[in-house]
Homo-oligomer: A and B are copies of this chain.
Amino acid sequence: MRATLIYGAGDVRVEQVPDPKLHEPTDAIVRVLRSCVCGSDLWPYGSMPDSAAGERIGHEFLGVVEEAGSEVSGLRTGDVVVAPFVWADNTCDFCSEGLHTSCRHGGMWGTGGTDGGQGEAVRVPHAQGTLVKMPVGEDAALLPSLLTLSDVFPTGHHSAVTAGVSPRTSVTVIGDGAVGLSAVLAAKRLGAERIILMGRHTDRTGLGREFGATDVVAERGEEGVERVRELTGGDGTHTVLECVGLDPALETALGAVRDGGVVSRVGAPQYEQVPMGFGTFFRNVTLTGGVAPARAYIDELLPDVLDGRIEPGRVFDRTVGLDQVPDGYRAMADREALKVLVRP
């Protein structure tokens, strides 16, 4: 089959690789219907050291079960399924607590010889715990929105949930990428009435307004913090959803949060240290969030997607075939595209 590999910064290729086969009786083989490129894929795309062998890449996919191992129950050939961006057994104590990203038998697509999501098919370990059946056909118009349940929408949701967003909390969302816009949609869905979106790309913040943002702040850094404080009587917002992962975004988040408030980070950190000394201590600021246990949220989010109450798939603004995946990376890195959908 064909699949995407990354060989270094800016070097993404689609190549022939071995067809996936069942290794364990708990595996399933999924033919990919839709995949996509994640903002976090852009980190290796920007800076990965050269690799002679290349590495499989892609961790968001939705597909059709082609074959299931003897110990997989509840899934049949032909089922349309979505895969969270880590696999998990869904039975260990961490999974039971809703922290599938720390599953005792979990793992990440494309690592340790496994398949990545940006390909024609994937061997899915712990398929019964990992895959979630979608009650739709292979050609459903909802596929893009359902695909977002793999990562980007639950990631926005995770930031809102861990921050404690509710009708009583004001919200700042930092970042107008697909995760930031998903966080806006998730905060709105949880009842937030005041959602300030910080971002500079008017096409993106426009979608943010449609998703529920009540205010847009284009300024960054200290100036951006001042604007958020002006909009909130000087205090900042109860919650700040940090959807970027870079130092300046985190500093802005810590500056824009109200005393006693919560910063939730879901942008994969490209920093080692967090500037939380005496100031944030005296202001009782909490830092929470982390990598989203998407599997824990799918059952809750799915009905709203199925009945069209939310359309998280609107973050996709370009669709490519598998051969065009390298150009999809380039388009996202150049900010030509917000998020690229892949139809293998």
> Is the interface on chain A under 10, 10 to 19, 20 to 34, or 35 or more residues?
20 to 34
Residues 262-278 of chain A, each 1 if its beta carbon lies under 8 Å from chain B, else 0? 00010011011111111
Judge whether A102 and B260 touch: CB under 8 Å. yes
A161-179 contacts to B, CB under 8 A, are 162
A75 at interface, CB cutoff 8 A: no
Judge whether B277 and A285 touch: CB under 8 Å. no
A289 at interface, CB cutoff 8 A: yes
Judge whether A272 and B275 touch: CB under 8 Å. yes
Across the two chains, which residue of chain B brings its CB closest to A285? B290
Q: Which of A94, A287, A290 has the most CB of B within 10 A?
A: A290
The CA of A317 and the CA of B294, in the complex, are separated in Å by 51
How many copies the complex holds: the figure is: 2
Smallest distance from the beta carbon of A160 to chain B beta carbons, Å? 15
The 4 A-B residue pairs with the shortest CB-CB distance in the complex, in nearest-first order: A284-B290, A102-B259, A273-B273, A272-B277
A182 at interface, CB cutoff 8 A: no
B-binding residues in A (CB < 8 A): 94, 97, 99, 101-102, 162, 259-260, 265, 268-269, 271-278, 280-291, 293
CB-defined A-B contacts under 8 Å, sample of 30: A94-B259, A94-B260, A99-B260, A99-B284, A101-B282, A102-B260, A102-B283, A162-B284, A162-B286, A268-B281, A269-B277, A272-B275, A274-B276, A274-B287, A276-B276, A276-B287, A280-B290, A281-B289, A281-B290, A281-B291, A282-B291, A283-B290, A284-B289, A284-B291, A284-B293, A286-B286, A286-B287, A287-B287, A287-B288, A288-B288
Judge whether A286 and B284 touch: CB under 8 Å. no
Judge whether B278 and A268 touch: CB under 8 Å. yes
Interfacial chain B residues near A269, Cβ < 8 Å: 276-278, 281
Across the two chains, which residue of chain B brings its CB closest to A94? B259
Contacts A94-B259, A281-B291, A284-B293 aside, 11 further interface pairs with beta carbons under 8 A come to: A97-B260, A102-B260, A102-B283, A268-B278, A272-B275, A273-B277, A281-B289, A283-B290, A284-B291, A286-B288, A287-B287
Across the two chains, which residue of chain B brings its CB closest to A292? B284
The CA of A271 and the CA of B271, in the complex, are separated in Å by 17
Interfacial chain B residues near A290, Cβ < 8 Å: 280-285
Judge whether A101 and B284 touch: CB under 8 Å. yes
Judge whether B99 and A259 touch: CB under 8 Å. yes
Interfacial chain B residues near A278, Cβ < 8 Å: 268-269
